[in-house]
Amino acid sequence: MGKKRIVVLTGAGVSAESGISTFRDSGGLWEKYDISEVATYQAWERNMELVLDFYNQRRKQLLEVKPNSAHYALVELEEQFDVQIITQNVDNLHEAAGSSQVMHLHGELIKVRSTRDESLVYTLDGWELKKGDLCELGSQLRPHIVWFGEAVPMIPEAARLTSTADILLIIGTSLNVYPAAGLVSYIEPGTPVYLIDPGYLAVDHIPNLTFIRETAGVGTPKLVRKLLQEAQSGSINP
């Protein structure tokens, strides 16, 4: 019998204990920056330097942080399950921990792409992308990030994967940003859902939900241990 599939939807909260700020908590990034000035295509056209600087700082910070116990626990989960991570995060901490299947809905900080041909994507050396850094066609490189107002190209595949989940885990996302937040609606009826987040979230619309009000670093290893034990004793019958 094949392994059961666990789909894990993660947000900024899974990386909070690594030292990366979330967006909407108090002290979060969107309190310090105006979304419309740093995370839209219009901002890029208006003030490229400011946008480059915003993502350069994020990238620089990423070089200084490490995965935490939540990222590592999700790697352990692969011992018994087919684990598919769908993250809204642009950091690479799931990969750094060793997770093997990670889909980035909102892009990746360590990558940049051509402004002329979006299929030309490159991994940046170091943290800094500058005005005048060009793709092979000679046009400016931009952060490989899905900005507000832009399409989220991975959503159809993410929705398909979510519909194949035997179990869904949601970790550290305020479920404020669509279409990512809408993925929950693609689970098959009866699929168990676990949500790990210390915040007070409106989750009445999620069926079969177990809400674990703990931080990712504390709650994820505990839940992973429980799921691995259940898999070993054969007591998971989704």
DSSP designation for 134: B
Instruction: Give the chain as a 3 state SS string.
Output: CCCEEEEEEECCHHHHCCCCCCCCCCCCHHHHCCHHHHCEHHHHHHCHHHHHHHHHHHHHHHCCCCCCHHHHHHHHHHHCEEEEEEECCCCCHHHHHCCCCEEECCEEEEEEEECCCCCCEEECCCCCCCCCCECCCCCEEEEEECCECCCCCCHHHHHHHHHCCCEEEEECCCCCCCCHHHHHHHCCCCCCEEEECCCCCCCCCCCCEEEECCCHHHHHHHHHHHHHHHHHHCCCCC
Site for ligand OAD in 193-232 (CB under 6 A): 197-199, 201, 215-216
Catalytic positions are 106
Site for ligand OAD in 45-84 (CB under 6 A): none
Indicate whether 25 belongs to the interface with ligand OAD (CB under 6 A). Answer: yes
Indicate the residue among 80 and 99 with the shorter CB distance to ligand OAD.
99
Q: How far is the CB of 91 from ligand OAD (least distance, A)?
A: 10
Q: How far is the CB of 11 from ligand OAD (least distance, A)?
A: 3
- 6, 13, 80, 109: residue in contact with ligand OAD (rule CB under 6 A): 13
- 84, 174, 194, 195: residue in contact with ligand OAD (rule CB under 6 A): 174
Q: Is 232 exposed, middle or buried (0-12, 13-18, 19+ CB in 10 A)?
A: exposed
- 7, 20, 38, 39: residue in contact with ligand OAD (rule CB under 6 A): 39
Stretch that binds ligand OAD, among 10-18, 54-62, 72-80, 229-237 (CB under 6 A): 10-18
Stretch that binds ligand OAD, among 44-52, 123-131, 133-141, 166-174 (CB under 6 A): 166-174
Stretch that binds ligand OAD, among 22-30, 43-51, 130-138, 185-193 (CB under 6 A): 22-30
Indicate the residue among 40 and 101 with the shorter CB distance to ligand OAD.
40
Site of interaction with ligand OAD (CB under 6 A): 11-13, 16-17, 22-25, 28, 39, 88, 106, 146, 172-174, 176-177, 197-199, 201, 215-216
